[in-house]
A and B are shown apart, each in its own frame.
Chain A
Amino acid sequence: MVRSAATNAGPESPPRVPTFERNADLRRYIGEETLTALGKAKNNTDRHRLLVEALRKEHPEMNGEAEKEARKILVNKQELERKEGWFSWIVKAPFRGLGWVWKKTFVEHPILTTLVLTVAGGTLAWYWLSKGAAGAAAARGAAAMKGFRDAAEAARAAEAGSALEGAGSALGGASNIPLEGAQGLESAGGAFLDPSRVIKPN
């Protein structure tokens, strides 16, 4: 059964399921009974249905939001487990340390720093300033975003040559990667700075 604690809706909004940084917190939220049922589910459709039922039972006021919130729980669970898998590989990765990769990538190749900051950094600034803010704060956010993008364009034209465009076109031309990769990261930048949606570890 999904526990009723830690939803953070406003007085007139349906309750929202929080996001968890740690698997233990997510498992505690979902509850043993539902976890067991999820483990026995035949496929993803069944997992989703089980969670929707559990959410509706615990939060009847969720109404139509239960399906969306159940999907969020499943994505949260999926990404926490993927992260565990990633870190278990990283510790025995067959290459030099991550510190070396970081230094080589972002210290010795400033264009890659510009790339990352252009794609994600500007959006972080915009999002943080404009999210939940109105009037002047939102305008400041939009201005910061525009200024950052203008500066990025100038840097790109003056110093970076065609590297950034090259990255985009390489992705566009690749058989497997959709060009919206950059937009996906920008959107992720927004999520990165929305503190209302995350339950911090204890």
Chain B
Amino acid sequence: MQTLFLTTEEQKAFSAVSASLREGWAVSAETQTSYETQEVLEMRAQISPLRRHPKVKELVEKVQAGTPPDKLSLPELSEEDIGEFFFMIGAKGISLLIASLLKEVKTDDDVRLLANLGEMRHKLLETNASISYV
């Protein structure tokens, strides 16, 4: 059985997902609390090499030009850049994605995605707790 790391509130939302989609998944409580502070998120943005990525710059230019968000799409990125992205938005950003995704779960792949995002958040929280200099 595979594990989904979800907070108490997220577990409530997940319980509304159809039983057939929930089948085969064990839910584990995400109880860690070491979410990123604003200071930390700012630092992550500053040290992210994504700021120089041509496709990201292009996206930002479209935003600047006033293109509405529903007409934009995020660029395809390498696995390393995707890793940079998720580190930059942190456990806090991934929580936003999970909360939104929980309202859209319709397929097994959606549940698998939820599990992957929960796993990534779990690891980020663990890492945040293990290294602290301030």
* Residues in chain A within 8 A of chain B (CB atoms): 19-21, 44, 47-48, 71-72, 74-83, 85-87, 89-90, 93-99, 101-102, 104-107, 109-122, 124-125, 128-129, 144, 147-148, 151-152, 154-155, 159, 162-164, 166-168, 170-171, 173-178, 180-185, 187-195, 197-198, 200-201
Contact = CB atoms under 8 A, between A and B. Distances in A.
A122 B134 contact: no
Chain B contact patch, size range: 35 or more
B87 A117 contact: no
A46 to B, nearest CB: 11
Contacts of A105: 97, 101, 113, 117
Given A44-B132, A170-B102, A75 B89 contact: no
A72 B115 CA distance: 34
Given A87-B83, A198-B46, A188 B38 contact: yes
Contacts, number: 254
B66 A171 contact: no
B79 to A, nearest CB: 5
B66 A147 contact: yes
Contacts of B26: none
